[in-house]
Structure 1
Amino acid sequence: MALPGKPPKGERTPVYMGLAATIIPPMTAMAKLHIRGHEHVPTTGAFVLSPNHYSEIDPLVMAIAIWKSGRVPRFMAKASLFKIPVFGRILTAAGQIPVERSGRATVGGAPMEAARTLVREELGVIIYPEGSLTRDPDLWPMRGKTGAVRMALEAGVPLIPAAHWGTQHLMPRYGKGIRPFPRKHIQILFGPPIDLSEFEGRTDQRSMTAATERLMAAIAELLGELRGETPPAQRHDPGQHGQAETGRFDG
């Protein structure tokens, strides 16, 4: 099935057109993206997309995959970045959602307002449920955090799992430089929306943990398909291995 191509004209703002023109050509020269399951990415309306994460270049690769699947990619970004001259204006113009250091999305000052903004502006937002690069020694998804599930439930939008494999050859986990030669092949697979119906109206930690595990299992299954391997039965838990967790939105 052919990819739909560029996002709808209404989503192709000057900021995003400029970013696409700047980023996609060099990335295409360094890596060929093999994208499957793009039909699971909603063509209109809001959604939350949750991929695996093991390389610092993952967000760039996933952003291009979403763009090529016919939508504009957006991320949760640290609120402090929005205060940087020029750069902050670009983030705002690109529809990124600010996140306080506590990890809570704060459009308008509250997580619920962030969810309302997501729906009102029909945004597609990428949230990494692991919160940082996986600590799993074999690059499988580790234990997830509840931010992605909470955002999808609060906004009442689809939660799409995704997996990719191959970015580690372009930039290794914890690597500081890109390895552009030879040209890499990166596999990307989007899955069907996670069924969260039984968790609607439930915000207790036990329910959110169960919903998050359902999401992580779906991501691991997609990754297993890409790798041709069976995911481990148990998810790596950094807390039990004495590993500090830092980084992205975790809710």
Structure 2
Amino acid sequence: MKLITPDWPAPPTVRAFTTTRSGGVSSGAFASLNLGDHVGDAPAAVATNRARLCAQLDVPTEPCWLRQVHGCQIVTASAATRGSEADGALSREAGAVCVVLTADCLPLLLCDDQGTAVAAVHAGWRGLADGVIEAAVTALALPPERVLAWLGPAIGATAFEVGDEVRERFWREDAATSVAFVPSAASTITQRRWQADLFVLARRRLQRLGIEHIFGGGNCTFTQPEQFFSYRRDGMTGRLASGIWLTSV
């Protein structure tokens, strides 16, 4: 099983990961390490994949698997039940594993420089526009200068084409986000299209909150089919997992 370990200066009590699509038992469109139980894959295969992941990571408890709805709800991992409706989880307790599933949306991992709190956030363009990052940072209740952020694999700007309404949604709130949108070759006089950069949009949101320690970004799910699932590329596909938790040592 090939995992990605975030390259960031997190304290030793913080553990974090992002999966790739290799190392599982799923087949066909879900080959092979699909962690999503809502995409049409065989339930037994998903259960096996999740068990394999937990074994490899040697996690102390079952991860907090959420039912994500592109909203802004953030739950406490230790208090949530499997399938809780939320788009992020946080923890201040050792052993509670926060995790989000993605297949083009941006997984965002957060911690503080002293290893007292962690969070995992699912941030597609709707969540970014509605304030899911702001909700997670508010829930962490930490001084922004102490927060570290890592941006996991997501669809890159060259592959993520959106309509004018998406650009307008961000631009109306913050004109500086215009740098995250480049005119698409598919634009016409009557219908403007844009290539949107989720990484730039997320960094802008974090910086507006006073967070400057931002790492990761740039790994495109769409253009790396051997490594990553991509909903926009394939339609029916699996889900990657990005998680984070605190240890006692």
Q: What's the TM-score, normalizing by structure 1? A: 0.30
Structure with a larger share of its residues in strand: 2
Q: What's the TM-score, normalizing by structure 2? A: 0.30
